[in-house]
């Protein structure tokens, strides 16, 4: 058999980011505004988008799950990726129309099982325990994704655990994106960067987040939970400050990543305070989901796509407009509970910024097609 015939028989592979990132952006544009307007009674929406639990479910186990999949899966045979997308769409449709039902849970379980099966073994084979730790984090995220679609009460109990697992993913992946980005910045100036990955702080962050999750699951006394969460938040901020973010004030692509990482550290500190203060806990939730998750996801999706097409993360102004809108939206959503008199205007403005930001991201994908 000739080499040409052998090559023609190989399955056509597609980078998961090429299809999953645009799909996640489209879902972000549609899902969040619809769920917010539905909860406020402005629009008739399906049952799965009428409650805060449905809104949180689709943000974390719908949209964020797809972005994590896109980033971690890498190149895949086209038919496998199409099947994965079909399962994800069936899971979304099932949950939105018939929330907390057996079909919604089964389709979500199929997606989650495939993600763990394809991704976890690669990290188990790593040499360093910090890299290996991603495997159990992915498995836990997959388990949470499966169980969250089973029952509203189960989701209520799982939500705090799911947020911590997602925080661990953002801590690790965000750090592994920021560190080489900064190293590349200094390499162009023919300088060697110090404190790149910061393995000791990375390890301390993973351990403190694992401890916080364990204490949370065991329902340990509030003070111990607060100490573990506070330790994790301090580690994130120490890592960020050692990168000296003030030295990159002219590089918007880096500053957006720093904002998301800073939001992660702030959210963990607020979660520690939230053990004793409901208001701090409420602010912490949106600092983590909109400030950290929303901004980091958009920044990473834009960066990966623009760099692949133009070899320069700052090649498209629209990517910075998208990230800037998300940052403004995150700040508005975070401050909304602090100013009850202006709560609805701030909420509406934050929703609009989110919608426009992810719409701009779709435009970035179109420009990079």
Confirm whether 61 is domain-assigned.
yes
**2 assigned to some structural domain:** no
Q: For 62-94, how does the pLDDT look when each residue is reduced to its tens digit (9 = 90+)? A: 999 999 999 999 999 999 999 999 999 999 999
Residues 286 and 163 placed together within one structural domain of the fold: yes
Note whether 239 and 179 are same-domain residues. yes
Average pLDDT estimate for 234-257: 94
> What is the pTM assigned to this prediction?
0.93
Average pLDDT, the chain: 93
Tokens standing for residue 172: 């690790």
Residue 331 CA: distances (Å) to CA of 175, 259, 292, 295: 22, 11, 11, 11
Q: Which of 358, 255, 245, 365 minimizes the C-alpha distance to 316?
A: 365
- Of the chain, the percentage scoring pLDDT greater than 90 comes to 84
Q: Indicate if 115 and 261 belong to the same structural domain.
A: no
Asked whether residue 3 is assigned to any structural domain, the reply reads no
Rounded CA gap, 282 and 271, in Å?
9
Euclidean distance between CA atoms 114 and 135, whole angstroms: 13
> Span 121-141, mean pLDDT?
94
Q: Which of 121, 150, 179 represents a domain boundary (last residue)?
A: 150
- Shared domain for 145 and 163, answered yes or no, is no
Q: Which residues share a beta bridge with 75?
A: 15
Closest C-alpha to 296, from 181, 208, 206:
181
- Indicate the residue among 95, 123, 150 that finishes a domain: 150
Cα 32 from chain centroid (whole Å): 15
Establish if 6 belongs to a structural domain: no
Q: Do 64 and 102 lie in a common domain?
A: yes
Q: Are residues 174 and 126 in the same domain?
A: no
What average pLDDT does this structure show over 183-208? 88
Average pLDDT over residues 164-183: 94
Note whether residue 294 is domain-resident.
Answer: yes
pLDDT at residue 4, as a whole number? 52
Do residues 104 and 176 share a domain?
Answer: no
- For residue 348, is pLDDT > 90? yes
End of a domain among 128, 150, 172? 150
- 320 and 193 both lie in a single domain: yes
**Structure token digits, residue 247:** 């030295």
- Assigned domain for 183 exists: yes
The pLDDT value given to residue 132: 95
- Residue 52 structural domain: 12-150
Is position 5 within any domain?
Answer: no
Q: Sorting pLDDT into bands at 50, 70 and 90, what band is 5?
A: low
219 shares its domain with 350 = yes
**What is the secondary structure of 88-152 as a DSSP string?**
HHHHHHHHHHSTT-HHHHHHHHHHHHHHHHHHHHHHHT-SSHHHHTHHHHHHHHHHHHHHHTT-H
CA 136 to the chain's CA centroid? 17
- Both 222 and 323 in a single domain? yes
Computed on alpha carbons and rounded to an integer, the radius of gyration of the chain in Å comes to 20
278, 146: one domain: no
Are 127 and 171 within one domain?
A: no
Is 115 inside any structural domain?
A: yes
Q: What is the pLDDT of residue 71?
A: 94
Complete DSSP assignment for 1-46 = --HHHHHHHSPPEEEHHHHHHHHHHHHHHHHHHHHHHHHTTSS---
Residue 44 has phi, psi (to 5 degrees) of -80, 120
Band the pLDDT of 2: cuts 50, 70, 90: low
- Number of domains within the chain: 2
């Amino acid at each position: 058999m000739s080499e040409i015939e052998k090559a023609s028989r190989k399955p056509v592979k597609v980078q998961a980011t090429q299809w999953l990132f645009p799909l996640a952006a489209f879902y972000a544009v549609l899902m969040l505004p619809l769920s917010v307007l539905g909860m406020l009674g402005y629009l008739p929406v399906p049952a799965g988008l009428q409650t805060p639990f449905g809104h949180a479910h689709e943000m974390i186990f719908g949209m964020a799950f797809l972005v994590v999949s896109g980033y971690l899966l890498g190149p895949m045979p086209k038919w496998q990726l199409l099947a994965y997308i079909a399962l994800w769409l069936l899971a979304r449709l099932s949950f939105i129309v018939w929330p907390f039902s057996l079909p919604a849970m089964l389709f979500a379980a199929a997606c989650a099982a495939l993600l763990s099966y394809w991704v976890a073994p690669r990290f188990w084979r790593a040499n360093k325990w910090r890299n290996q730790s991603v495997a159990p984090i992915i498995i836990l995220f997959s388990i949470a994704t499966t169980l969250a679609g089973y029952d509203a009460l189960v989701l209520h109990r799982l939500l705090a655990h799911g947020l911590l697992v997602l925080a661990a993913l953002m801590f690790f992946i965000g750090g592994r994106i920021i560190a080489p980005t900064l190293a590349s910045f200094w390499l162009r100036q023919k300088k060697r960067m110090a404190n790149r990955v910061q393995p000791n702080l990375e390890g301390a962050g993973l351990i403190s987040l694992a401890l916080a999750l364990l204490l949370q699951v065991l329902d340990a006394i509030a003070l111990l939970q607060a100490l573990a969460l506070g330790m994790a938040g301090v580690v994130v901020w120490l890592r960020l400050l050692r990168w000296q973010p003030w030295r990159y004030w002219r590089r918007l692509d880096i500053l957006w990543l720093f904002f998301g990482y800073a939001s992660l550290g702030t959210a963990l500190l607020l979660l520690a305070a939230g053990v004793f203060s409901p208001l701090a806990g409420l602010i912490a939730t949106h600092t983590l989901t909109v400030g950290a998750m929303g901004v980091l996801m958009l920044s990473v999706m834009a960066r990966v796509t623009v760099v692949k097409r133009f070899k320069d993360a700052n090649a498209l102004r629209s990517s910075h407009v998208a990230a800037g809108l998300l940052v403004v939206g995150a700040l508005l959503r975070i401050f909304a509970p602090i100013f009850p008199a202006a709560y609805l205007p701030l909420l509406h403005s934050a929703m609009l910024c989110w919608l426009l930001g992810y719409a701009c991201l779709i435009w970035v994908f179109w420009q990079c097609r």
